[in-house]
Structure 1
């Protein structure tokens, strides 16, 4: 009897799974259609039926950030559901459709499917462009000693369609007036300096150049604010998560199980050796103070009483330190989880901060770049770096209540800085040498 009931449950589960599989095309289409309806609703309600323009002056920056976030989520849903629809229709054949009809699944009529797909295309076509337009209008070649920036075409819809670009960065600097140069344009009759001077004069004589400069400055300012705010969040959120989890989540739970006298005081032998050393120094201190005061020698009973008091104090101190180390392990897990979650939900901010650091790094002079590279390499892979790595690893071990394994520390110091040094040299050879060869030359001269 039990076997038959179990078999019926298995059959029911498999049947429900198969029905869910057969309903995948219709479910994907309905979800994409609902997302397109929501986009259309926002357009009709807040933008008078026009497309959602993230650079619109109708609302404040906070409101536009809200609309932009919703738009990105809805467009992502539409793209994923349409991809799912295409893949599921490719796997489903006539036999599957006949099986679906037998199980009572009714598909939408072809006319209704085409109508919904047409509506979806009409809505999202405002926020998509051809790949050829992207490749011809998005990037502009700049000299290696200038800040490298992603330049976006006049079609602001690229910001929504391309998730790798920072939000609301539609810079229109005077450099973007020049078209991308091909191999034919690399050499010409006139020198490049004359052509660039003519281009600059054309831009300066353009009556709209002042507005474009102001708009570019505002966008750069906004990008800087977003980057600084995100950096602060990356620092503050994990720290706050660590402290809150340690005080209110992990702390009471650990104290509940370690608040007994029978619990082990020391987590490792190093703590025990440290406590015994403290107790021995305390005994020597008592004798030394007794000698310099010219007082009668302490009786063994008095020394034993003082030693017992100090031993109880040391036991409480190391019990607290052991509990604190255990709390740190679990609190650090919460902090890492908060940090990863922050990275996952802030992909657009990561793109902005990447562009922010690119502008800062590539905007430095060659000597400044060389100075920073030498500073970092000397700190992490230089001659004195093993001492720093040793102190860091011992601090991490003590933070988690682990014994400092000298073999592991020496092995780490012998391998990890070498790997870092190789990565630094490869980055200099592969990327920096191509982007800024003068900085590499300055680095070599300074390093010699």
Structure 2
């Protein structure tokens, strides 16, 4: 009787899963249709039925950023559901449709399916170039603001996409020189920029854009630091700590989690015994009896055991709390792709905006700290600290092998970056680096 009931439950579960699989095309199409209705609702309520764009309504930049973020998410959902619909339709055949009919599944009317697809195409057709436009905005070259003779000079913002392949042609020697010297042409261009009535407005706009980029980048860097640390402390205090204490309380005899901690405890206990004997010898007190020494040693052993028990529990907590921190860090990176793009542009603007001597100084400082002659001592301290943090014994063979390989690989990667990228972008900085390094 029990076997028959169990078999019926398994059959019911498999039948439900099979019905869910057969209904995948209809479910995907319905989700895409509902998402398209949300886009249409935003257009009707806020943009007078027109495309979600700054040209369709008068909103501030913050409000438009809010609508465009929602639009980007909704368009992504529609396209994912349509892809799922097409893929599931491709696997569907006549035999599966017959099987669906046997299970009581009725496919929707083809006319209704075509009507929904037509509506979805009408809604998203207006945004077919949305991703291209967004990427072109992200690829805008940051305006360069320089100060010369107490005057602010700004270069016009030029999108990378505006440079066509046909416009990039190899320069000939005859094209490298002009009728007038370049300094005169540069001066004329600067005067034109200063006499432009919109120059002040452009400078203020470029400054605000740069300020916004800086604020976003600094805030994102602080989030990358603060959120993992907070996650580590909260998980350790609220989730991991009580669980570890609960399971370790059931095994009171387990004090050490590795032999290295046990050796430290024995050495500390031995030093305590030698200390009390030494203090008794240099004082005028009568010699301690073996019972007194044994009593003091017993109390000290309890203190040492409790101390290393807490240290062992703390190491176990650190392992699981670090896992929570890594998950929080990866989650923050996944949901902050736009902030990562802004941060990359910010670092490019800061790093490549430094002088040649500053670039060379930073390069030498980085290489000497991580791959220089004295770097093995630093790596040894870091690895031993990590081992103690996680409650692992310090494996000297692994530490020496790591020191012998990782800094060499890091140095090779760094030299390749200098040769491949920095030498092309700022060759004078590379020359300064070699001169300073010699």
TM bucket (normalised to shorter chain) is 0.7 to 0.9
- Mean Cα displacement is larger for which, 14-23 or 272-281? 14-23
Is the 1:238–1:338 Cα contact (8 Å) retained in structure 2?
yes
CA–CA separation in structure 2 for the residues paired with 1:405 and 1:256: 30
Alpha carbons of structure 1 residues 8 and 252: separation in structure 2 relative to 1, 3 Å: closer
Counterpart of 2:220? 230
CA–CA separation in structure 2 for the residues paired with 1:25 and 1:208: 55
Counterpart of 1:288? 278
Matches within 5 A, 1:154-173: none
> Which 5+ residue runs of structure 1 have no aligned equivalent?
148-171
Alpha carbons of structure 1 residues 142 and 345: separation in structure 2 relative to 1, 3 Å: closer
State yes or no: 1:266 paired with 2:266: no
Counterpart of 2:148? none
Q: Kindly indicate whether structure 1 or structure 2 has the higher relative contact order, using CA contacts under 8 Å at least 6 residues apart.
A: 1
> Which 5+ residue runs of structure 2 have no aligned equivalent?
146-153
Q: Secondary structure at the match of 2:158?
A: helix
Root-mean-square deviation (CA), in Å? 3.6
Is the 1:24–1:85 Cα contact (8 Å) retained in structure 2?
yes
Q: Deviations over 1:311-349 (max 9, x none)?
A: 111111111111111111111111111111211222222
Is the 2:141–2:158 Cα contact (8 Å) retained in structure 1?
no
CA–CA separation in structure 2 for the residues paired with 1:89 and 1:389: 56
State yes or no: 1:183 paired with 2:168: yes
State yes or no: 1:245 paired with 2:222: no
Is the 1:141–1:180 Cα contact (8 Å) retained in structure 2?
no
Is the 2:40–2:49 Cα contact (8 Å) retained in structure 1?
yes
Matches within 5 A, 1:401-440: 401-440=391-430
State yes or no: 1:78 paired with 2:78: yes
* Alignment coverage as a number of residue pairs: 420
Is the 2:137–2:159 Cα contact (8 Å) retained in structure 1?
no
CA–CA separation in structure 2 for the residues paired with 1:30 and 1:299: 88
- Mean Cα displacement is larger for which, 46-55 or 388-397? 46-55
- Mean Cα displacement is larger for which, 234-243 or 12-21? 12-21
Q: Deviations over 1:37-83 (max 9, x none)?
A: 2122223323444443479873573x555434322211110121233
Counterpart of 1:174? 156
Alpha carbons of structure 1 residues 361 and 131: separation in structure 2 relative to 1, 3 Å: same
Is the 1:242–1:331 Cα contact (8 Å) retained in structure 2?
yes
Q: Deviations over 1:98-133 (max 9, x none)?
A: 7666764323434x4454444334433443428998
What's the offset of the Cα at 1:6? 7.2
Counterpart of 2:388? 398
Alpha carbons of structure 1 residues 134 and 253: separation in structure 2 relative to 1, 3 Å: closer
Is the 1:136–1:180 Cα contact (8 Å) retained in structure 2?
no
Q: 2:211 aligns with which of 194, 208, 221?
A: 221
Counterpart of 1:155? none
CA–CA separation in structure 2 for the residues paired with 1:330 and 1:371: 39
Counterpart of 1:275? 265
What's the offset of the Cα at 1:203? 5.0
- Mean Cα displacement is larger for which, 31-40 or 402-411? 31-40
CA–CA separation in structure 1 for the residues paired with 2:334 and 2:346: 19
Counterpart of 2:42? 42
Counterpart of 2:346? 356
Counterpart of 1:160? none
Q: Secondary structure at the match of 2:108?
A: coil
CA–CA separation in structure 2 for the residues paired with 1:256 and 1:66: 47
Alpha carbons of structure 1 residues 173 and 128: separation in structure 2 relative to 1, 3 Å: farther
